[in-house]
Amino acid sequence: MTLSYDKSADVLYVTFEPAPLGSYIYVENENGDVLRLDRNTKQVVGCTILAFAARCAKGRVTIPEIGPVPFNEIAEDLICA
């Protein structure tokens, strides 16, 4: 898993499994997060989490399609970096 945090936009980019560009389907969920699905398997291979720091401050970040994501434990390191 790779993480990239854009502090100015408060957005966390997560890649669970790398895949070639053009092999994704992008789907927005009910939270406004963007899920990257493998075009062939329809498995979630990554996501873009909006308002990451604000959501961590309120408690555990949950992506309904994935479940609770343990980013809160590393949020301070990501946000303060």
- pLDDT in the model for residue 41: 86
Query: Tens digits of per-residue pLDDT, 7-58?
Result: 999 999 988 877 777 788 999 988 888 999 888 888 888 899 999 888 888 8
- pLDDT in the model for residue 48: 93
Band (69; pLDDT cuts 50, 70, 90): low
Instruction: Supply the range of the domain harboring residue 18.
Output: 2-80
CB 63 within 8 A of CB 52: no
Other beta carbons within 10 Å of 61: 20
Does 81 have pLDDT greater than 60? no
DSSP lists the bridge partners of residue 4 as 13
Number of domains in the chain: 1
